[in-house]
């Protein structure tokens, strides 16, 4: 569909029941997202009409006089609410990437309404009664394995949402969900404002000491975009903060940037998130008790691979001592250099002196690596690797509607069929969530013959004058990580959308994304796509070898800053007593754990969007470590065979992991792929930590 065709499909009067956003998407291969017609004023009436339509569909299923069966109840439920899915897909793009101005008022008004609607569906007595009948019927055993899992999935969802509660408790759970939705939006909007409004402008040459040309070019472009031509902008985002702390020789400015970043939403002003967090935690704890669970953590992990908070904590605490010990070693190495500068290592010094240690130990300056890491070349490398492993091709598509001019679209296909569309939104801008993520605009849906539409979203800084964007090695790893999520969505081949793509448990969904990170360091990718931005020459093999030799370097820092966040997350949601001050709780928990003073949590509590902008990763940030065990153990299967691109292992991985979504129990799926349960050994070896005699994760 061209932009001209989109322009001909103008929306009807705002507020009409047949609002245009509810209509099936037009365009090739089952339709594409009609971004070109979106007006912020349309979201409220479209959402309200879509909710009304889905509720009517649910009421028809619940009122069906025929005996409940898989087809007339569970399959009918799978097919219900497609208009609602289309509307919320577009609304979600605005919430994550264009969240400013009038949209924030819409979000504030609609989030509690959406939460109330979700509760109305998940607590619908008549609908649950029919699903429960199918689940408990003698005919259940006659269903095939995937049908049985779908029935189990919906039954479990209803029970966990409170469908079996009495009316007063149902009403209270629904009220909690509505209030949480308001708080989640407030938390996110506070964080967006803190990141957008705090910018350090550098104007004197001496303030630029140590900053590489690429960092300076991006900072100059960011300043010019904000009307400060001739200056250099250090933004209050991770993608701007990390390179500044790594390279700036101005310790006073490093401290200033560090304090501004790590004090986001923790300054006692209107954007302070601590009171929001206290209320979120209290409401989550109350909801868990109403639903029959000891804590929010127990409720969240009941359907995870870990199963219980205790199992998740056991894994984290097994790794923690080795990670802290490695930090002590890293600090000793850094302090030996810092002492000559008369400096005792503080958190704003860690990245700077770690880089100097890297240079001294491995003769590797990561600034030397960066010119070889061009964003667009690495994107081509991701495409090539996906083609080699899974037979996928990526063809750019012109003329399809996009939500922002920075977005681009590719059609994904195999030799004989269309697979889906991949959207790429790479650059930072006001109103866009920081970090990187994958979204599914449309989940693979065999019941509707619909192919997946997915996106990857990052926050790289544009270069001045259209020069190739150079990114750091860590950012390159993150790029491959998020593309792993996209491949998980694109390769889905599941009968029912609720079980398709990335709709799997939290501590399994990160497995495919983390496994995909391994491909970046392969000679096959680096020799073809790590090309120097000026000369075009491929990265020398000797430089690639030096990068490989440093893969366990600074893993103490990386593991401790992550694990500190994951442990605080779990402790917050296991706390029996009400958390009255998140800062105090964070400080006391880290002191009890023996957190090294030279670094902080990767996500301090007032900024921890993973766990406070939704329920998504709450009591679940541990999942990255759980999945890292699967990733390292799983990648060993490739290395034990013919190498990273072994065709037989790739086919097994595709068929047993990527294609099955949640249609198979994750533990079973992993064992089918690997031939056994995972062990922790490969993960510990990769980080240079001691390896115990035996440890499995199931």
Report the C-alpha dihedral over residues 209, 213, 215, 219, rounded to 10 degrees.
Answer: 90
Same domain, 391 and 460: yes
* Of residues 374, 377, 292, 665, the one with CA closest to residue 504: 665
Same domain, 240 and 154: no
515 vs 470: CA distance, rounded Å: 23
Coil/strand/helix, residue 470: strand
Q: How many CB atoms lie within 10 A of CB 141?
A: 7
The pLDDT of 256-279, averaged and rounded, is 97
pLDDT tens readout for residues 653-693: 999 999 999 999 999 999 999 999 999 999 999 998 887 65
- Residue 695 is predicted with a pLDDT of 54
Q: Flag whether pLDDT at 367 surpasses 50.
A: yes
In this structure, is residue 58 part of a structural domain?
yes
Secondary structure of 570-631 in HEC code, one letter for each residue: HHHHHCCCCCCCHHHHHHHHHHHHCCCCCCCCCCCHHHCHHHHCCCCCCCCCCHHHHHHHHH
The pLDDT of 47-65, averaged and rounded, is 97
In this structure, is residue 95 part of a structural domain?
yes
Same domain, 535 and 428: yes
pLDDT tens readout for residues 209-242: 999 988 999 999 999 999 999 999 999 999 899 9
The pLDDT of 516-525, averaged and rounded, is 97
Secondary structure of 385-451 in HEC code, one letter for each residue: HHHHHHCCEEEEECCCCCCCCCCEEEEEECCCCEEEEEEEEEECCCCCCCCCEEEEEECCECCCCEC
HSE toward the beta carbon, residue 467, CA cutoff 13 A:
17
In this structure, is residue 235 part of a structural domain?
yes
Give residues with Cβ within 8 angstroms of 227, minimum separation 6: none
HSE toward the beta carbon, residue 291, CA cutoff 13 A:
27
Give residues with Cβ within 8 angstroms of 617, minimum separation 6: 506, 569, 610, 611, 623
In this structure, is residue 627 part of a structural domain?
no
pLDDT tens readout for residues 377-432: 999 999 999 999 999 999 999 999 999 999 999 999 999 999 999 999 999 999 99
Same domain, 479 and 567: no
| CATH number of the domain within which 410 lies | 1.10.1370.40
Structural domains in the chain (count):
4
Same domain, 30 and 100: yes
Query: 523 near 511, Cβ under 8 Å?
Result: no
The pLDDT of 161-167, averaged and rounded, is 96
Report the C-alpha dihedral over residues 658, 661, 663, 668, rounded to 10 degrees.
Answer: 60
- Residue 16 is predicted with a pLDDT of 43
- Residue 9 is predicted with a pLDDT of 39
- Residue 1 is predicted with a pLDDT of 26
- The rounded mean pLDDT for the chain is 94
Same domain, 461 and 414: yes
Give residues with Cβ within 8 angstroms of 405, minimum separation 6: none
In this structure, is residue 633 part of a structural domain?
no
Out of 12-16, 292-296, 484-488, 552-556, pick the least confident: 12-16
**219's tokens:** 């900072």
Q: Would you place residue 20 in the very low, low, confident or very high pLDDT band (cuts 50, 70, 90)?
A: confident
Rounded to two decimals, what is the model's pTM?
Answer: 0.91
Q: Flag whether pLDDT at 569 surpasses 50.
A: yes
| CATH number of the domain within which 560 lies | 1.10.1370.10
Secondary structure of 325-385 in HEC code, one letter for each residue: HHHHHHHHHHHHHHHHHCCCCCHHHHHHHHHHHHHHHHCCCHHHHHHHCEHHHHHHHHHHH
In this structure, is residue 62 part of a structural domain?
yes
Q: Flag whether pLDDT at 7 surpasses 80.
A: no
Same domain, 410 and 534: yes
Domain C-terminal end among 533, 549, 565: 549
**210's tokens:** 């140590």
The pLDDT of 344-364, averaged and rounded, is 96
- Would you give the end-to-end CA distance of the chain in angstroms? 46
- Residue 10 is predicted with a pLDDT of 40
Domain C-terminal end among 240, 262, 284: 262
Same domain, 539 and 559: no
Q: How many CB atoms lie within 10 A of CB 8?
A: 9
* Of residues 492, 516, 250, the one with CA closest to residue 383: 516
403 vs 348: CA distance, rounded Å: 37
Same domain, 53 and 158: yes
pLDDT tens readout for residues 89-146: 999 999 999 999 999 999 999 999 999 999 999 999 999 999 999 999 999 999 999 9
592 catalytic? Reply is no
- Residue 11 is predicted with a pLDDT of 41
678 vs 418: CA distance, rounded Å: 34
In this structure, is residue 269 part of a structural domain?
no
User: Could you tell me the CA-to-CA distances from 188 to 1, 96, 118, 181, 202 in Å, in that order?
Assistant: 34, 10, 20, 11, 28
Query: 232 near 208, Cβ under 8 Å?
Result: yes
Domain limits for position 419: 371-549
Q: Dihedral of CA 155/157/160/166: which sign?
A: negative
Same domain, 353 and 483: no
In this structure, is residue 386 part of a structural domain?
yes
The pLDDT of 240-251, averaged and rounded, is 96
Q: Of residues 57, 355, 482, 586, which has the active-site annotation?
A: 482
- Residue 697 is predicted with a pLDDT of 57
Domain C-terminal end among 621, 642, 666: 621
pLDDT tens readout for residues 432-474: 998 999 999 999 999 999 999 999 999 998 887 788 999 999 9
Same domain, 40 and 91: yes
Quick one: how far is CA 426 from the chain centroid?
15
Out of 8-17, 337-346, 369-378, 679-688, pick the least confident: 8-17
- Residue 696 is predicted with a pLDDT of 55
Express as a percent the part of the chain with pLDDT over 70.
Answer: 96
Q: Flag whether pLDDT at 3 surpasses 60.
A: no
Out of 23-27, 102-106, 127-131, 562-566, pick the least confident: 23-27
- Residue 698 is predicted with a pLDDT of 53
Same domain, 252 and 283: no
């Amino acid at each position: 569909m061209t932009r001209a065709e989109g322009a001909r499909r103008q929306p009807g009067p705002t507020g009409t029941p047949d609002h245009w956003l509810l209509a099936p998407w037009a365009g090739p291969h089952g339709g594409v997202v009609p971004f070109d017609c979106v007006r912020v004023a349309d979201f409220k009436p479209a959402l309200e009409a879509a909710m009304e339509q889905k509720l009517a569909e649910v009421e028809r299923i619940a009122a069906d006089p025929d005996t409940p069966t898989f087809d007339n109840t569970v399959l009918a439920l799978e097919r219900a609410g497609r208009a609602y899915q289309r509307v919320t897909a577009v609304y979600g793009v605005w919430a994550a990437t264009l969240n400013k101005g009038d949209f924030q008022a819409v979000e504030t008004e609609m989030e509690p309404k959406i939460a109330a609607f979700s509760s109305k569906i998940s607590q619908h007595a008549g609908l649950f009664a029919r699903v429960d009948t199918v689940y408990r019927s003698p005919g259940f055993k006659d269903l095939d394995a995937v049908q049985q899992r779908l029935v189990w999935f919906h039954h479990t969802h209803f029970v966990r949402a409170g469908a079996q509660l009495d009316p007063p408790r149902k009403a209270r759970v629904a009220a909690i969900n509505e209030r949480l939705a308001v708080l989640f939006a407030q938390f996110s909007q506070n964080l967006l404002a803190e990141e957008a409004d705090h910018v350090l402008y550098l104007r004197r040459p001496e303030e630029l000491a140590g900053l590489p040309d690429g960092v300076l070019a991006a900072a100059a472009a960011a300043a010019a975009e904000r009307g400060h031509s001739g200056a250099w902008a250090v933004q209050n985002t991770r993608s701007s903060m990390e390179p500044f702390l790594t390279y700036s020789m101005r310790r006073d400015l490093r401290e200033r940037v560090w304090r501004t970043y790590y004090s986001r939403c923790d300054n006692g002003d209107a954007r302070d998130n601590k009171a929001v967090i206290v209320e979120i935690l209290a409401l989550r704890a109350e909801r868990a008790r109403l639903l029959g669970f000891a804590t929010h953590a127990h409720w969240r992990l009941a359907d995870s691979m870990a199963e219980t908070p205790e199992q998740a904590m056991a894994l984290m605490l097994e790794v923690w001592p080795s990670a802290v010990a490695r930090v002590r070693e890293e600090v000793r190495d850094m302090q030996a250099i810092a002492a000559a500068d008369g400096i005792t290592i503080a958190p704003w010094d860690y990245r700077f002196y770690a880089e100097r240690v890297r240079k001294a130990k491995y003769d590797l300056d990561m600034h030397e690596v960066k010119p070889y890491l061009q964003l667009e070349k690495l994107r081509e490398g991701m495409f090539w690797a996906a083609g080699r492993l899974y037979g996928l091709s990526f063809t750019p598509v012109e003329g399809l509607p996009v939500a922002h001019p920075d977005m681009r679209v590719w059609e994904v296909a195999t030799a004989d069929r269309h697979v889906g569309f991949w959207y790429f939104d790479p650059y930072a801008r006001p109103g866009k969530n920081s970090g990187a993520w994958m979204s599914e605009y449309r989940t693979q849906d065999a019941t509707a013959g619909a192919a997946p539409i997915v996106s990857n979203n990052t926050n790289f800084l544009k270069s001045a004058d259209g020069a190739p964007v150079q990114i750091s090695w860590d950012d390159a790893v993150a790029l491959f990580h998020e593309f792993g999520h996209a491949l998980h969505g694109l390769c889905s081949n599941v009968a029912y959308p609720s079980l398709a793509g990335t709709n799997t448990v939290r501590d399994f969904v990160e497995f495919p994304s983390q496994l995909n990170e391994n491909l970046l360091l392969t000679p096959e990718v680096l020799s073809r796509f790590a090309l120097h931005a000026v000369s075009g020459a491929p990265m020398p093999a000797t430089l690639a070898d030096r990068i490989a030799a440093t893969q366990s370097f600074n893993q103490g820092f990386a593991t401790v800053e992550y694990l500190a966040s994951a442990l605080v997350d779990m402790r917050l949601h296991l706390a029996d007593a009400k958390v009255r001050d998140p800062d105090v709780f964070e400080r006391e928990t880290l002191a009890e754990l023996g957190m090294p003073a030279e670094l902080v949590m990767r996500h301090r509590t007032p900024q921890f969007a993973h766990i406070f902008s939704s329920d998504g990763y709450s009591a679940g940030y541990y999942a990255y470590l759980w999945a890292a065990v699967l990733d390292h153990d799983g990648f060993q299967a490739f290395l034990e065979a013919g190498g990273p691109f072994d065709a037989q292992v790739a086919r097994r991985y595709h068929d047993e992991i990527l294609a099955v979504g949640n249609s198979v129990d994750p533990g079973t799926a992993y064992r089918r792929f690997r031939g056994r349960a995972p062990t922790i050994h490969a993960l510990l070896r990769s980080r240079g930590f001691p390896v115990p005699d035996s440890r499995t994760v199931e």
